[in-house]
């Protein structure tokens, strides 16, 4: 009989960002199913699952509960940065590790977390580097009222200044708030080159629908003129928006159709539907490899870092210094549940503190033209 | 003073850690490495080369003035105190070095990044304030030159108001401050006195 190892699963099954947490959970569960269905893999994973129900205050106690009631010392989970920051003290107390598979705002490198999705130098910086020469450098920034919205908007403001432009306005909405009328009025009045959307969940859906409506009334706000840019929008949400996000632009390490066209490896027997699925699928695969190699439920970091592995993102590896992942970047245009790749970079090393950010490289100046008088 | 941190420009900076070999040093080093800062350990003394560092972390528990290549409180870069013992005497000593921020030992997984930003901000504010104080002190000192210069002009047969206007006019013409213009008049007048007294002998 194969040896069984428990691993924690901590995703909300309800609440405002349930589409994203369901996608994350699906990736983790698919990887567990693939491993358990493979008699040659040698070990079996047993998920120990808890559901915080979209309530940030429930993450830490439920994470604690996983460690108290099972032998699991690795947990795959969390969607928001707020919930991740809540569980880190619990991880420290138990010498445990979180596999975090969502894009986030950077400025963190905990010894108790592996970050398997993108940080700003892998989403926001290349996204603005792509958008500014095409649409202009006068952005309007919207975000949800917590660390993701605040920090992403702050970095975007600085990037726009470096690009010779500016943030024309910035508004944050409370989590779950769907009243976007004021944002839309301001955008209509200010006529920015683009809108950067750092909203999450229902606020983001309401905003995308209202922008689509605005574009129908006034062609100056159609996506090909004034696009909505996102760093967290994927197929798991656009497929539910009845085309409201069509033509809008999103940056991520993965989109399903482009990955297929680029020939990136499938996730076991199927292909991950979103980057969230791909990141958690990869996390569980890496975790399982480490457990198998060491024969322990709590392998330390050396079992994972600096080892290139085949993943839905292609070959990737966790950086030993930052514990973030070297990832590809796709700038995609959303179309229903499909995505068209506008730009692909095969691999960007993680830089969560943006210490290697180079303004001249991100926003190269166009060659000066000699004006003849 | 409000300071925007912009996109952090800490990458490539250099930090000294003045502390005996200890897990706390390793914890700080790890955090600095993630931020892209080069670390140099030093103990028991900071070498003279540390004068060019961007940041210095120093042990407040076993520290003393002679460890630093500068006078107490005169560091040319932001300082971060590493405090284990919270005895008031040790905190007082750390303050006498002009620590701009502090970290409590043991140092864990976080804290270094915010300490760097706070220390840099406090250091810049302190430096700007010191420069302003020095400038104001100098101006107060130079008020004497203005009084003397006005006196010299009055002695040449003009009213006090006109003497003052004349001084202001000269400062504008020479494109210098009133204080500098006054200093020139005073020094010329002294030279004249010397020439005259030479002639008399």
Which residues in chain B have Cβ-Cβ distances shorter than 8 Å to A353? 8, 10-11, 34-36, 113
- The reply to whether residue B34 touches residue A321, judged by beta carbons under 8 angstroms, is yes
Q: Tell me whether 0.90 is exceeded by the ipTM.
A: no
A chain contacts of residue B107, beta-carbon cutoff 8 Å: none
Both B124 and B69 in a single domain? yes
> What pLDDT, on a 0 to 100 scale, did the predictor assign at position B3?
44
B31 and B100 housed in the same domain? yes
Distance CA A293, CA A37 (A): 19
Q: Are A344 and A262 within 8 A, CB to CB?
A: yes
Query: What is the CATH number for B33?
Result: 3.40.50.2300
Q: Across the interface, do A107 and B33 touch by the CB < 8 Å criterion?
A: no
**CB-CB: which of B4, B109, B113 is closest to A353?**
B113
* Tokens linked to B1: 């003073």
Question: A200 in helix, strand or coil?
Answer: coil
Are B151 and B193 found together in one domain? yes
Same domain, B116 and B18: yes
Minimum mean pLDDT range among A14-28, A288-302, B39-53, B139-153: B139-153
Q: Tell me the CA distances in angstroms from B99 to B4, B108, B110, B123, one per residue in order.
A: 21, 20, 19, 9
Query: Do B34 and B110 have their domain in common?
Result: yes
**B35–A353 C-beta distance less than 8 A:** yes
Tokens 């909203």 map to which residue?
Answer: A199
What value does the mean pLDDT take over residues B38-67? 95
Nearest in space to A117 (alpha carbons), one of A245, A271, A342, A281: A281
Residues B144 and B79 in one domain: no
Verify that B23 and B56 share a domain, yes or no. yes
The reply to whether B3 touches chain A by the CB within 8 Å rule is no
User: Does residue B9 lie in a domain region?
Assistant: no
Domain end among B78, B109, B130 = B130
DSSP state of B19: S
Q: Is residue B3 part of a domain?
A: no
Is the peptide bond prior to B106 cis by the omega test (within 30 degrees of 0)?
A: yes
Is B103 domain-assigned? yes
CB atoms within 10 A of CB B44: 13
User: What percent of chain B has a predicted confidence (pLDDT) above 90?
Assistant: 64
Q: pLDDT for A19-54, tens place per residue?
A: 999 999 999 999 999 999 999 999 999 999 999 999
B163 within domain boundaries: yes
A155/B12 CB distance under 8 A:
no
User: Which two three-digit tokens encode residue B146?
Assistant: 């203005």
Domains of chain A (ranges; CATH) run: 3-118+259-327 (3.40.50.2300), 121-256+330-362 (3.40.50.2300)
- Answer whether residue B200 shows pLDDT above 70: no
The reply to whether B2 falls in a domain is no
Whether B196 shows a pLDDT value over 80: the answer reads: no
Query: How many angstroms separate the Cα of A180 from the Cα of each of A150, A177, A202?
Result: 17, 8, 11
Residue B2's pLDDT band (boundaries 50, 70, 90)?
A: very low
Answer yes or no: do B144 and B123 share one domain. Answer: no
| Contact call for residues A135 and A226 (beta carbons, < 8 A) | yes
Q: What pLDDT, in 10s, does the model give residues B126-178?
A: 999 999 999 998 888 878 888 899 999 898 888 889 998 999 999 999 999 88
Given a contact cutoff of 8 angstroms between Cβ atoms, the answer to whether A157 and A167 are in contact is: yes
Task: Note whether B8 contacts A355, CB cutoff 8 Å.
Answer: yes
Q: Are residues B116 and B171 in the same domain?
A: no
Of B83, B100, B130, which marks where a domain is finished?
B130
Decide if B11 and A159 are in contact by the 8 Å CB cutoff: no
Q: Strand pairing partners for B84?
A: none
Q: What is the DSSP letter of A39?
A: T
Q: What DSSP line would sit under B149-160, residue for residue?
A: HHHHHHHTT--H
Confidence of residue A348 (pLDDT cuts 50, 70, 90): very high
CB contact under 8 A, A355 and B113: no
Q: What are phi and psi of A217, to 5 degrees?
A: -80, -40
Residue B34 touches chain A, beta carbons under 8 Å: yes
Which residues of A make CB contacts under 8 Å with B? 88, 92, 107-112, 155, 158-159, 162, 321-322, 351-357, 359
Q: Are A223 and A194 in contact (CB under 8 A)?
A: no
Answer yes or no: are the C-beta atoms of A97 and A73 closer than 8 Å: yes
Q: Are residues B55 and B112 in the same domain?
A: yes
Could you say which of B104, B130, B156 is where a domain stops?
B130
Asked if residue B154 and residue B104 are part of one domain, the reply reads: no
Report yes or no on B4 lying in a domain: no
Could you count the other beta carbons within 10 Å of the beta carbon of residue A229? Answer: 24
For the stretch B173-182, contacts whose Cβ atoms lie closer than 8 Å and that sit 24 or more positions apart, written own/partner, are: B178/B146, B179/B138, B179/B139, B179/B142, B179/B143, B179/B145, B179/B146, B180/B142, B181/B149, B182/B142, B182/B145, B182/B146, B182/B148, B182/B149, B182/B150
- Given an 8 Å threshold on Cβ–Cβ distance, is B30 in contact with A111? yes
Cβ-contact A46, A288 below 8 angstroms: no
Around A80, how many Cα atoms within 13 Å sit in the side-chain half-sphere? 28
The number of folded domains in chain B is: 2
Domain harbouring B157, CATH code: 1.10.10.10
Residue B73 domain-assigned? yes
Question: Which range marks the domain in which residue B21 is found?
Answer: 14-130
Mean pLDDT over the full length of chain A: 94
Residues B124 and B168 in one domain: no
User: How high is the pLDDT of residue A36?
Assistant: 96
Q: What is the pLDDT of residue B8?
A: 64
Q: Which residues of A touch B10 (CB under 8 A)?
A: 353, 355
Nearest CA in chain A to B9: A355
Which region among A217-226, B66-75, B174-183 has the lowest average model confidence (pLDDT)?
A: B174-183
pLDDT of residue B138: 86
């Amino acid at each position: 009989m194969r040896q069984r190892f428990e691993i924690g699963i901590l995703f909300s099954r309800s609440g405002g960002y349930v589409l994203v947490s369901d996608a994350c959970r699906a990736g983790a569960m698919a990887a567990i199913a693939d491993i358990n269905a493979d008699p040659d893999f040698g070990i079996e994973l047993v998920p120990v699952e808890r559901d915080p129900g979209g309530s940030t205050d429930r993450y830490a106690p439920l994470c604690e509960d996983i460690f108290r009631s099972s032998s699991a010392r690795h947990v795959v989970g969390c969607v928001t940065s707020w919930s991740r920051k809540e569980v880190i003290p619990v991880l420290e107390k138990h010498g445990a590790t979180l596999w975090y598979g969502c894009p986030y705002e950077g400025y963190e490198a905990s010894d108790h977390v592996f970050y398997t999705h993108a940080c700003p130098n892998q989403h926001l910086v290349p996204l603005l580097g792509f958008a500014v020469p095409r649409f202009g450098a006068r952005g309007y920034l919207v975000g949800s009222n917590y660390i993701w919205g605040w920090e992403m908007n702050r970095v975007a403001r600085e990037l726009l200044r470096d690009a010779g432009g500016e943030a024309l306005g910035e508004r944050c909405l409370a989590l779950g708030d769907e009243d976007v009328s004021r944002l839309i009025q301001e955008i209509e009045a200010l006529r920015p080159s683009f809108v950067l959307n750092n909203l999450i969940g229902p606020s983001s859906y309401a905003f995308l629908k209202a922008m689509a409506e605005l574009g129908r009334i006034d062609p100056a706000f159609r996506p090909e003129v004034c696009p909505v840019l996102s760093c967290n929008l994927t197929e798991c949400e656009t497929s539910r928006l009845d085309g409201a996000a069509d033509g809008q632009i999103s940056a991520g390490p993965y989109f399903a159709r482009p990955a297929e066209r680029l020939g990136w490896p499938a996730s076991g027997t199927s292909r991950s539907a979103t980057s969230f699925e791909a990141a958690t699928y990869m996390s569980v695969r890496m975790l399982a490899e480490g457990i198998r190699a060491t024969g322990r439920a709590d392998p330390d970091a050396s079992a994972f870092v600096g080892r290139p592995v085949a993943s839905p993102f292609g070959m990737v590896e966790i950086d030993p210094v930052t514990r973030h992942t070297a990832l590809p970047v796709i700038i995609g245009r959303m179309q229903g549940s499909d995505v068209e790749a506008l730009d692909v970079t095969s691999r960007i090393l993680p830089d969560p503190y943006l210490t290697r950010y180079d303004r001249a490289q991100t926003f190269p100046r166009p060659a000066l033209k000699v004006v003849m008088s | 003073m409000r300071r925007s941190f912009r996109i952090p420009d800490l990458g490539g900076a250099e930090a000294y850690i003045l502390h005996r070999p200890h897990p706390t040093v390793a914890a700080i080093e790890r955090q600095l490495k993630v931020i892209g800062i080069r670390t140099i350990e030093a103990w028991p003394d900071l070498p003279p080369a540390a004068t060019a560092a961007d940041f210095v972390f120093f042990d407040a528990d076993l520290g003393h003035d002679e460890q630093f290549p500068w006078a107490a409180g005169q560091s040319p870069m932001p300082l971060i105190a590493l405090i284990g013992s919270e005895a008031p005497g040790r905190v007082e000593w750390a303050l006498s070095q002009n620590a701009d921020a502090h970290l409590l030992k043991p140092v864990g997984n976080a804290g270094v990044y915010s300490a760097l930003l706070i220390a840099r901000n406090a250091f810049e504010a302190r430096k700007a304030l010191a420069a302003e104080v020095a400038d104001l002190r100098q101006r107060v000192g130079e008020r004497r030159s203005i009084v003397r210069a006005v006196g010299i002009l009055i002695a040449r047969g003009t009213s006090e108001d006109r003497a003052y206007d004349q001084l202001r006019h000269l400062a504008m013409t020479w494109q210098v401050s009133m204080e500098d213009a006054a200093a020139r008049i005073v020094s010329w007048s002294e030279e004249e006195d010397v020439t005259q007294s030479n002639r008399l002998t």
